[in-house]
Amino acid sequence: MSDTPSSYEVRVAASMQALSDSAFFRLGDHSISPLSGVRTDTGSAAREMSRMSGFPLDGVDRLFLGADEIHAIWRSVEGPLIVGEFCLVHLHKSFTGDEFPPDDPTLPASDYSKLGALKVIDSEPHSGSGSVTGMYMTESAQHEIWFYDAGLHRLERLDLDYLAYLDAVLVTKGTCGWQYLFADVDLNTTELHTTAADLNVMLEKFPEQFPEYDYEPLRQRLEARL
């Protein structure tokens, strides 16, 4: 993401406004919560994250949001029903606060262990889906982004880093299941049929609703997974 973190809030606010202005959507609860506590001091926040996580998080402050939390939920009101939600939290809160990943003992052992180690960066709290996206720190202190689909009991690594994930939220507006466009999956399966259909609606409707974004890369990702 080429923008500085402080400009991200400007962009996401504009994205929320575009959802509100469009006759195709009904924007529900939405908010951008201001920074509070130690998160107002990026240096102190980064040091506390490193100390509590046990990872040398050099340069992590460049990934910080300029808000404690950014949340929006919406649904379409014209044509096929699709819904979306995102709830992005400051990384300091992810690493040191009360953002805990869900528990799912039905997962294979390796995935279950990874799910428990995720630092939650995005969730769907109002929809009640239980799905989350999290950051996983490898032994070499590199980060990976993983998506947990609670309804389907799936954990998938995404072909995105953290800043690219933030950009993708702006483009997709948090359409439910958008993360599968960046996972190594076959969407032409029975359990992912509804997700694929929703993503197809998104890619049919969004280009005319939000012409400032290029949706062709996402269309290509969808086609590659069908």
Can you give the three-state secondary structure of 1-17, one letter per residue? CCCCHHHHHHHHHHHHH
Report pLDDT for 38: 94
pTM flag (> 0.75): yes
User: Which residues, including other chains, have CB under 8 Å from residue 5's CB and lie 6 or more apart?
Assistant: 62, 63, 64, 65, 66
pLDDT, tens only, 93-107: 999 987 889 999 999
Are 166 and 1 a contacting pair, CB within 8 Å? Answer: yes
Distance CA 111, CA 147 (A): 11
Are 9 and 70 a contacting pair, CB within 8 Å? Answer: yes
CA 69 → CA 6, 78, 210, 211, distances in Å?
Answer: 13, 29, 24, 27
pLDDT, tens only, 185-222: 999 999 999 999 999 999 999 999 999 999 999 999 99
DSSP state of 187: S
**148: β partners:** 132, 155
pLDDT-based confidence at residue 3 (cuts at 50, 70, 90): very low
Report pLDDT for 2: 38
pLDDT, tens only, 11-50: 999 999 999 999 999 999 999 999 999 999 999 999 999 9
CA dihedral for 121, 170, 144, 107, sign (positive or negative): positive
pLDDT, tens only, 114-147: 999 999 999 999 988 889 999 999 888 789 999 9
Mean pLDDT value across residues 154-165: 97
